[in-house]
Amino acid sequence: MSSGNNVHEPKPSSDDTPETPYEEVYAPSSGNAYEALNEGEDPRWAYGTGFADPLAGVDTRVPEGVDRTDLAAYCLMLGDDALIMSHRLQEWCTRAPELEEEVALANIALDLLGQARLLLARAGAAEGAGRDEDALAFLREAGEFRNVRLVEAENGDFGHAMARLLVFTTWRLALLDRLAGSRDPVLAAVAVKGVKEVAYHRDYAAGWVVRLGDGTPYSRERVAEGLESVWPLVAELFRPHVVELRLAEAGVGVDPAALREEFDAVLDHVLSAATLTRPGDTVTPEGGQGGRAGTHTDVMTGLLAEMQSVARAHPEATW
Amino acid sequence: MPDLEDHFDRTIERDQRVEPRDWMPDGYRATMVRQIAQHAHSEIIGMQPEGEWITRAPSLRRKAILLAKVQDEAGHGLYLYSAAETLGADRAELTAMLIEGRQKYSSIFNYPTLTYADVGVIGWLVDGAAICNQVPLCRSSYGPYARAMIRICKEESFHQRQGYELLMTMMKGTEVQRAMVQDAVDRWWWPSLMMFGPPDDASPNTARSMAWKIKRHTNDELRQRFVDMSVPQAESLGVTLPDPELRWNAERGHHDFGPIDWSELQRVISGDGPCNAQRVAVRRAAHENGTWVREAAVAHARKAAVPRSAGVFA
């Protein structure tokens, strides 16, 4: 059901024999299975809740000649993109047009959340100030987030969701594909894992953009409007921040300007199948350098207020 | 006809499975459709109380766990609607019955989730009660349902363990967190006991369902099993179950527990629970807002023998 998240241990196939052992194993009368939680592993549980270090086996030292501050900032950029896009997809939960879409959207949100966790953990390690993934996700202010503004825009209808997801995944897949050759072994590992995931996400979004574009007149109008509404946020995806340029130069990061050609080609391919056309780029009025420099739209504050509410209400708590 | 009926009776008697193409009495078919549909609806409505906390989960690990759990529930709903379709039901019609209030779902999901501790307590008690109810259904006489139930029980067991693990972590946290857990236990304990349905002497269909082997234990048997299971778990966790009459009865070999307020269950089932209107409204809105999307998919599929959306990148 889910393509790449770490949450589930492998699931046994559904044709495992259901005969008596199964009920005996799970029957409450067989004793206090919960002691297992206090006293180590118990075979009566089908799955563990152990979560291995996601970077186990990867050399986590910062490669020679790489500026730690730049690396931390860069990991935040890519991690925040995934985290905030995941959040907007999480908001679809229980609201999708069909149950298959519930499963798919949650799956994509989970994959992106997994990417975010790895990247934020890497950012914290490179920074060296003792901040973990949760400190970075829950204790930063809007101005410290470095995601592109495309991902923070509020949800619209399903046409908007698929238009944005197509734009986001086409851009991110092109980026991760190049990042797989990074000199930083952690970024390279995250990218290799991410390419497989985002290729599926892009396929999912493209399938829906085609269905909606070439579906009914109304669906065509909805997805075209979705595309128009996200398009003003597209130019920013390809405008390099100085950190991205320095890390691209060092063989660690990717210059986003180099992704535009592939992005346009993929979009044209999908949109032509969808009988839609690519909107023209518009110049967006903005201050500063956009999301990469911490300049966000006003909806970012509300998004963070929700995401960070429980964590901030209980600063001493453990979860 | 007598031959077919004999064959059905022998299948049940020998503890074999009834399969979709087998003859079955109309009453058996109708009962199975209702049972499976209500279970499917419960999975889908059950996404809401916990789903509300995904965007607010207090750590990224908890967020991933919760998102995966709610996704599993959507998956359970899908298998169960498919199992119902093997009996001739139609998913769209069953969904219409749900949002028009003509079919029920488990009344437990009509209670609100007030704090993050509720996520843990739902995993522990609500999923725990569901497992007590559902493990025997892995031996249901209707084959597709029994097989769906195996996978569902395995995943429920995983969810229950994660819920309990969240509570254990919270109980080792701050005083405020421990109070949150106790408060959630106080609110969910009695509704969890009601999940097993009315007492045996007020459950008119039990005998027939037991005879058909689509129900393996009575409501009161399962409820007792759940209480006996939960008491040591509560002790291990360090919470108090909100029942002053709860105590071990050595003679019976079971825990005695206080009377259940059946009028509350009746109220919630008949629509007056705290969240009934909201739960159905959310499901209805998702379904209605999705109409144009589903229509587009059908229209697109009809336009081409091989839809272009099938593998844009193929």
Min Cα distance A111 → chain B (Å) is 9
pLDDT of residue A50: 42
Q: At what angle do helices B276-289 and B26-45 cross, to 10 degrees?
A: 90
Summarised one tens digit per residue, pLDDT across range A136-186 is 999 999 999 999 999 999 999 999 999 999 999 999 999 999 999 999 999
Q: Which of A23, A51, A210 sits opposite B309 (nearest CB)?
A: A210
Domain boundaries, chain A: 1-50, 68-313
Q: Rounded to the nearest 10 degrees, how much is the dihedral formed by the CA atoms of A40, A46, A47, A48?
A: 0
**Whether residue A18 has pLDDT greater than 90:** no
Predicted confidence band of residue A21 (pLDDT cuts 50, 70, 90): very low
pLDDT of residue A284: 60
Predicted confidence band of residue A58 (pLDDT cuts 50, 70, 90): confident
| CB of B144 less than 8 A from some CB of A | no
| CB of B234 less than 8 A from some CB of A | no
Cβ of B158 within 8 Å of Cβ of A46? The answer is yes
pLDDT of residue B224: 97
Predicted confidence band of residue A285 (pLDDT cuts 50, 70, 90): low
Question: For A26-40, A205-219, B262-276, which range has the lowest pLDDT when averaged over its residues?
Answer: A26-40
pLDDT of residue B299: 96
What are the chain B neighbours of A309 within 8 Å (beta carbons)? 56
A61 is written with which tokens?
């030292």
pTM of the prediction?
Answer: 0.91
Cβ of B177 within 8 Å of Cβ of A11? The answer is no
Average pLDDT over residues A24-37: 41
Distance, in Å, from the CA atom of B293 to the CA atom of B305, rounded to the nearest integer, reads 20
pLDDT of residue B312: 65
Identify from B53, B63, B223 which residue to disrupt to test chain A contact, counting A C-beta atoms within 10 A and taking the largest count: B63
What are the chain A neighbours of B59 within 8 Å (beta carbons)? 134, 138, 311, 319
Tell the CATH topology of A68-313: Ferritin (1.20.1260)
Q: Which of residues 4-43 of B touch A (CB under 8 A)?
A: none
Cβ of A93 within 8 Å of Cβ of B47? The answer is yes
Min Cα distance A73 → chain B (Å) is 19
Predicted confidence band of residue A59 (pLDDT cuts 50, 70, 90): confident
> CA nearest B206: which of B223, B219, B192?
B219
Over pLDDT 90: what percentage of chain A? Answer: 76
pLDDT of residue A277: 93
Distance, in Å, from the CA atom of A306 to the CA atom of A244, rounded to the nearest integer, reads 30
H helices present in chain B, as ranges: 2-13, 26-45, 47-51, 60-85, 91-99, 117-121, 127-134, 143-171, 175-194, 206-211, 219-237, 262-267, 276-289, 291-303
Please list the ranges in chain B whose pLDDT falls under 50: none
Helix (H) or strand (E) holding A269: helix A260-273
Cβ of B64 within 8 Å of Cβ of A45? The answer is no
Pick A1 or A255 by higher pLDDT.
A255
pLDDT of residue B96: 97
Question: For A93-97, A228-232, A245-249, B306-310, which range has the lowest pLDDT when averaged over its residues?
Answer: B306-310
What are the chain B neighbours of A52 within 8 Å (beta carbons)? none
pLDDT of residue B148: 94
| CB of B263 less than 8 A from some CB of A | no
Q: Which of B154, B236, B313 sits opposite A38 (nearest CB)?
A: B236
| CB of B92 less than 8 A from some CB of A | no
**Whether residue A34 has pLDDT greater than 80:** no
Pick A87 or A9 by higher pLDDT.
A87
Q: Which of residues 78-97 of A touch B (CB under 8 A)?
A: 83, 87, 90-91, 93-97
Cβ of A318 within 8 Å of Cβ of B172? The answer is yes
